[in-house]
Structure formats: C-alpha cells, structure tokens
Structure 1
Amino acid sequence: MYLRMIRQSFFEGRKRKALAAITVALAAALITTLLNLSVDVGDKMAKEMKAYGSNIRVVPKSENIPLKIGGVDFNPLKGRDYLDEAELTKIKDIFWSNNIVGLAPFLDVPVEIAGKDAGRVSLIGTYFRKSMPLPSDEEYRTGVRITHPYWQVTGAWPDDESASEVLIGRSLARRLGVAAGDTIGVTRPTEGSGGSAEASYRITGILATGEAEDNAIVAPLGAVQALAGLQGKVQSVSVSALTIPENELSRKAIRDQDSLSTSEYDVWYCSAFVSSIAHQIEEAVINASARPVWQVAAGEGVVIGKLQVLMLVVTLAAFASAAMGVSSLMNTAVMERAREIGLMKALGAAEWQIHLLFLTEAVIIGVVGGILGFLAGSGLSQAVGWAVFGSSLAFHWIAVPVVIAVSVATALAGSILPARSITRLMPVEVLYGR
C-alpha cells in the first residue's frame, strides 16, 4: 500500500517532482564542481603560484650564525662556506619528496669583464634544466626553468653541459653594448697565487628577471665551479615545494619545536607545511639551514585560504536556494493534496505516517537530483579545470556519497515548512471544502 501511494504520488505530480529534482540537480552540480575544485585547488593554486619563485632557501648552516660587533650583525663566513652539490639529491629523498617541484643551486663569484671598464660583476652558476638522476626517477630534471618560471630569456637557454654558453642580464648587456651571439671574456683573480683565471663565453640569450640577475652573467654551474676552483660546491639552493597553508600548530612549531607534544610533532612533521618541509631538508642535507621564503609561502596560504572560504560560501548559498525552491514546490503539492491528506487523517492515519510519505518523496527527489547533479557537475568541474588551470581535475569517489547526501539533506530541508502545513490541516475543514 505504502509503495503504491508513493508511485501514484509521483505519477500524478510528475511535473512538479521533476522540477524539484532539477532544482536539486542544479545545486548538486554546483556543489560537485566546488567540491572537486576545493580538493584540488590547493595543489593547483600552489603550482600556479610557483610562478612567483621558490618558497624555501637552503644555505650553509654557518650563514645563520651572525656575530654582533658594535651592535651590527657580522658573519665572517658569509659567502665563504659551501654546500656539497652531491648532497642535493637528498632533498628529493625526504618524506614529502613528491611535493618538491624542483630545486636550483647557485654559486655566485665576482669577475671582471675583459676589455670593458664595467667593474666587478657577478658570475652566477646554476642549473637551467639539468639532468639529476634519482633512484626513483632516472630521468629527473630540475633547474631555474622550473623553480623560477618568471625568468624571461630573449634568445636561447644555455646547455647545462656546456662550459662556454651563458645568459647576460639585460641591464648589463645594455651597459656593455652586447647582444645574443656575441662572445664575452671574464677574468677572476686567483686567491693566494697573484694570478687570475680566464674564460670566454658565448652569449646565447638576454635574461630579464627584475632582480639582481639583470646586472649579472648566468652560466651553467659546472662552468662557474671550474673557473672559481670550487668543483662540487654551491652557496645556496632554491627549492620550490607544494605546501598547505600554515595553521596554529605550524606557527607553534616555528616559534619553538620543543614545545610540541609527541602527537603534535607527528602531525606537524607529516603535514605539508612549508616549515615542516624545510625542517626535513635540514635533516637530510649535511651542514644545511633551510628557511621558508615567507613572502611567497604566506601569499600562497592567504590566496588558497580565501578561495576555500569563497567556495564554502557559494556552496551554502546553493544549498539554501535549492532548499527554498523545493520547499515552494512541496508546499504547493501539500495544498493541492489537502483533501487526500484530510481523508487519510479521517481514516486514522497518524501524522508521522503522512510525514513519512512526503519525506520519502523528498528523499527520492534528493537521490535522483543528486545523481543527475553529480554527473553534470563532474563534467562542469573538468571544463573549469581546463579553462582555469589548463589541466583536468582528479576524480574523487568520496564526492559521490557526499553530493548525494547533501542533495537529500537539501530536499529534506525544503520539506520542513510543508510538513508544518500538514499538521495544521483539519480533516473536517478540508473535506467540507474549506
């Protein structure tokens, strides 16, 4: 009897039920899109914000031990202590190795331009897109083309294996009157011997960064190490890592790691905070001090946090709008079926039984609308992913029950007011025609 009543109810009011299901489906489609985006937005936005540069800088531990002389910080070892290039692969061997997008070592040595009165300029050695085989990935490549995507080169990038190709900063190129394709000679005094080391390089491109590199020469790391006699040594490493926004736990760890309890330390260590990744790099690399670049890291956290709040607000708005639409349709259905409800009450049906009939209808509407909305929202989220991020979004099975549950909750929320209308219906009045 109960199932027959449900079937008859849907058959007689199929247009109104269809409208209610479409209303729920539209909300479910929006919620599905926002849910898929909210799961992936952290990684997607973090990747987009890598265009602003690396978010962790690794230097020799001695550089973070300044001495105060006359009230001024002074570090006699600054620029004279080095990291071992062979240790760099260990950065990709930490717990969050998959979050390390790339790394780029740097070695800065002062040189003079042969035949030019330009004073001393910086010759910076680095990786451009160098092969760095790892046990887990023999084809791994890294360098400034990954960690510093905002670097703009007019011409061609040098070959990492070449000892004679360089980029020249645009400001320095303008001062010297050179262009891509020209050859430039440099000299570097040899400490202790009174002589100098000389090298000649071919300019493959003009580099524009808006930073110190605009007044420098940038060359493959091996070439600069050979000129300076510092084979296998680097001064600093820029690391680009995918991270999550800092919270109170991470801020507590930054202030004082020793204040963390064992459980807090485990949670912090196993979370992709920029502070915990930097800590793990310090553990992995000998004589290294890793410090987050807070201007970049904090900016990522603020943007991602605000986006997630915005998506939550839009989701709640969609839920409320759909619930009001369902409520209007269900309330109209109650008014149209007033005589049927009055007759059921007159025949002895309890109010809970009548409520159960309408709530069952709401659940069915929610399930149907949720399934349709999920299918539409999945396609919409992929379209948004390609339009905004240039790639698809991962499919998350957990979204299926979540969207259907929210859709059912939306339909049930819209049935609250109609349920109150049912309780106010008096059998005598509705059967009499009032």
Structure 2
Amino acid sequence: MFLLMLRQSFFRGRRRKLLATSTIILAASLITALMTISIDVGDKMSREMKSYGANLNLVPKSENLPLEIGGVDYNPLKGEVFLEEQDLGKMKEIFWHNNIAGYAPFLKVPAKLEGEGGAAVPLVGTYFSRLVKFAGNEEFRTGVREINPFWQVKGNWPDDGRTDQVLAGATLAHKLGLKAGDRLTVRYALAPTQPEAVTVTGILTTGGAEEAALVAPLALAQRISGHTGKVQSASVSALTVPEDRLSRKARRGADSLDSLEYDRWYCTAYVSSIAHQLEEAIPSAAARPIWQVAASEGTVVNKIQLLMVVVTIAAFIASGLGISSLMVTTIMERSREIGLMKALGAADWEVYLLFLSESALVGLIGGLIGCGAGALLAQLIGLSIFGSTVSFHPIVIPVNVVISILIALAGSLVPSRLITRLFPAEVLHGRK
C-alpha cells in the first residue's frame, strides 16, 4: 500500500519534481567532477610540477658527510669520488620504480679550448635523451630533455650516440662569440690527453650554472677525463605524494618510526621514502630530496583540494536551500491531501515518511544522472587544465548518490515539520 501511495504521490506535481531533480543534478554533477579531479589531482599536479625539474639528487655517499671548519662545510673528497653509471639503472627496480619519471647523470670535468686563447671551460657530460635498459630487456628513455623540459636550445640537441657534438651555454657563447655550427677543439685541463674536435649544435639556456659550460654527451666527458663508466651525481625526477605528518616525522630518520608507521611510510610515494629506497638499491649513493620542489608540490595540491571541499560544501548548501523552497510550496499545495490522510488515520510520521521517501527518490534519480554529467565535466576540466583526461573511479558513484540523497533529505527535513501544523478540520473546511 505504501509503495502504491508513493508511486501515485511521486508523479503528482511533476513540474516541481523536475525542478527539484534538476537542482540535484546540477549539484551532483559539480560534486562528481570535483571528487573525480580531487582523487586524480595529486598525480596530475605531480606530473605538472615535473616541468620545474628534478626533486631528488643522487650523490656519492662520502659527499653527504661534509666537515664543518670555521662555519664552512668542507669535504676534501668532493668531486673525487664517483658513482657507477651502470648502477643507476637499479633505481628502476625499487618498489616505486613506476614513479621514477626519469633521471640524468652528470660528470663535470675541467677542460681547455685550443685556439681560443686556451680558455678554461667546464665540460658537463650528461644524457640528453637516451634509451637505457634495466631489469633485463626493458627499455626506458631518460635524460635532461625528459626531466628538465625548461632547458631551451637555440639550434639542435646533440645526439647521445656521438661524442663530437656539444651545446654551448648562453653565457659562455656570449663571452666567446660562439654560435651553432662552430667547430671547437677541447682537451682535459688536468692532464695531457688527446684533444677532441667537437661541433656546437646549439646554444643552451637553463637559468643555471650550465649556461657557463659546454654540455656534452656523457661518453665524451668520461673519455677526455679518463673516468670511464663514472658519474659524479644524478638528478632524479620522481612522482610523489604531498608531505604530511608521517613524512615530516620520517625526515628525522627511519629509526624514528615504529613498525606500523614504517610500513605505511615505506609503501607510500613520499619523496623521503623514495630517497630511502634509492639508497637501498644503490648502497654507494646518498639520495638528497630537493625539499623546495617537494614542498611546492604538496602546498599546491593541498590548496586545490581545500578549494574543492569548499566548493562542494557550497553546492550542498545551495542545493539544499533550493529543495527546501520547493518542498515548502509542495506541502502547502498538498495541504488538503495531507489533511485527508490524517483524517483517515495516518500518523504524522507516516506522512513524514511519504514526503521524505519522495525526496530520497528525487535525490537518487538526480544523483545517478548527475554522476554521468559530472564524469563528462571532469574530463572537460582535465583536458582544459592538464591537457589530458582524468581517471574515473567507480567509488565516486555510490558516494555521490548518497550525498545527493542527503541533499534532498536535508532540504526536505525542515519544511516537512509543517505537516504537524496541518489539522484535518482546518485544511478540509478552512480556518475561521
């Protein structure tokens, strides 16, 4: 009987039901879109922040132990110890190997230019865009072009497979009058070695120390210095999650965490846990997080998520007020029907249940339609902001439907109290 009454009652006042459903659909679509983006925004923002460069620096472990003399950090081994180039591939074998977006090794050696007054210049060897193998036959493209997209070259990038091509930093090029296509002869400044003839393929602008150097394929720097298979450091770009209380506690050392905290920290892509795993994979290396980059990522993501929460709450309140206004009008229009139900013996709670069930049904229908519209809206927002679609998580559907029903019930709860003020004699015969 109740279901029959609910069906007949639901299809009365269709215009107002349509307005109420439309209100729920608008709110549900907005909430769905914000929830979808909020779930995916961490990865999206992390990828966007990669354009600002690496967030980890890998150096020999001995360089991580400087001596302090007269308030100045001093390390007599700085620049004299190396990492093995072949060991760098091990970073793609850690627990968070899929989060290693790229890396670039560096070997900086002093060089001299012949025919340019014997000018001394730094020569920096690195990967530009190189395909490396790891874990057997798996391949991975990495280098400064992958992790430092802000590096700009006027001309052409050198080929990693050749040792006769270099980039000239913008500052060095201005000082020596170099341009793309110039031929140079370089030799190692610390020992007599065979000079190397190279061609400047482009002028490099980075905003950093590289602008005062020649930047060459790593093999060239290793060959002229005699440091075959060696690198001084490696910049690593890793996809990480924002810092929180646990990760900040872990900064003091993994020993400061209990077993449960350690397991959670180790299995979460914090920059500190990835650094720890890199040191486990390459025991001779020390991984130094670049906290400015990591902190910026966390700050941006947290502020975006907070903004989404505020907008969601505003949508909830606005929709609830709209439902409430429509409900008041509906109850007043149906006052005679309510009075008749009471006259026939219906209790207040039964009338309450009928109207709240109508509202819940409106919330359910509006929530389901809003999920579809919100999923489409989330993709449009993802394409316009991040240039790619966002992942839709099925958990959003039940959560959004529950929220939509709560909006409808919250908007109907207070107006439904008017039912207790309607007396059969008054609404059926009129007040006197």
TM-score, structure 1 normalization: 0.97
Task: Evaluate the alpha carbon distance shift between residue 239 and residue 13 of structure 1 in structure 2; reply closer, same or farther with a 3 A threshold.
Answer: same
**Shift in Å, 1:421:** 1.4
Partners of 2:423 and 2:396 lie apart in 1 by 43
User: For residue 149 of structure 2, what is the amino acid of its counterpart?
Assistant: P
User: For residue 296 of structure 1, what is the amino acid of its counterpart?
Assistant: V
Partners of 1:139 and 1:225 lie apart in 2 by 23
Deviations 1:251-286 (A, max 9, x none): 111023212110011111111111111111011113
Partners of 1:317 and 1:110 lie apart in 2 by 61
* Residue in structure 2 matching 1:233, options 230, 235, 253: 230
The equivalent residue for 1:125 is: 125
Q: Does structure 1 retain, via aligned residues, the 8 Å contact 2:90–2:134?
A: no
Alignment of 1:372-391 (within 5 A): 372-391=369-388
Q: Does structure 2 retain, via aligned residues, the 8 Å contact 1:189–1:197?
A: no
Task: Evaluate the alpha carbon distance shift between residue 136 and residue 311 of structure 1 in structure 2; reply closer, same or farther with a 3 A threshold.
Answer: farther
**Shift in Å, 1:426:** 2.1
3-state SS, counterpart of residue 134 of structure 2: coil
Could you say what the CA RMSD is over the residues aligned between the two structures, in angstroms? 1.3
* Residue in structure 2 matching 1:289, options 286, 290, 297: 286
Q: Does structure 2 retain, via aligned residues, the 8 Å contact 1:190–1:197?
A: no
Partners of 2:245 and 2:361 lie apart in 1 by 43
Query: 5+ unaligned residues in a row in structure 1: which ranges?
Result: none
User: For residue 169 of structure 1, what is the amino acid of its counterpart?
Assistant: G
User: For residue 143 of structure 1, what is the amino acid of its counterpart?
Assistant: G
Deviations 1:323-362 (A, max 9, x none): 1111111111111111111111122111111111011111
The equivalent residue for 2:245 is: 248
* Residue in structure 1 matching 2:392, options 395, 411, 415: 395
The equivalent residue for 2:147 is: 147
Deviations 1:19-64 (A, max 9, x none): 1000000000101110110011111111111111000001000001
Alignment of 1:277-356 (within 5 A): 277-356=274-353
Query: 5+ unaligned residues in a row in structure 2: which ranges?
Result: none
* Residue in structure 1 matching 2:261, options 264, 273, 296: 264
3-state SS, counterpart of residue 150 of structure 2: coil
Partners of 1:119 and 1:185 lie apart in 2 by 11
Corresponding pairs, count: 431
Partners of 2:299 and 2:78 lie apart in 1 by 33
Alignment of 1:28-43 (within 5 A): 28-43=28-43
The equivalent residue for 1:412 is: 409
Partners of 1:418 and 1:253 lie apart in 2 by 52
TM-score, structure 2 normalization: 0.97
User: For residue 92 of structure 1, what is the amino acid of its counterpart?
Assistant: K
**Shift in Å, 1:146:** 0.9
The equivalent residue for 1:59 is: 59
Q: Does structure 1 retain, via aligned residues, the 8 Å contact 2:120–2:189?
A: no
3-state SS, counterpart of residue 397 of structure 1: coil
Partners of 1:44 and 1:347 lie apart in 2 by 60
- Whether 2:424 is the aligned partner of 1:427: answer yes
Task: Evaluate the alpha carbon distance shift between residue 118 and residue 321 of structure 1 in structure 2; reply closer, same or farther with a 3 A threshold.
Answer: farther
**Shift in Å, 1:190:** 4.5
Partners of 1:317 and 1:323 lie apart in 2 by 10
Partners of 1:359 and 1:37 lie apart in 2 by 32
Partners of 2:198 and 2:253 lie apart in 1 by 48
- Whether 2:171 is the aligned partner of 1:171: answer yes
**Shift in Å, 1:70:** 3.8
3-state SS, counterpart of residue 244 of structure 1: coil
The equivalent residue for 1:161 is: 161
The equivalent residue for 1:276 is: 273
Alignment of 1:102-113 (within 5 A): 102-113=102-113
User: For residue 275 of structure 2, what is the amino acid of its counterpart?
Assistant: A
Q: Does structure 1 retain, via aligned residues, the 8 Å contact 2:356–2:413?
A: no
Partners of 1:121 and 1:424 lie apart in 2 by 91
Identity %: 56
Deviations 1:148-187 (A, max 9, x none): 1100011111111111111111111111111111111112
- Whether 2:4 is the aligned partner of 1:4: answer yes
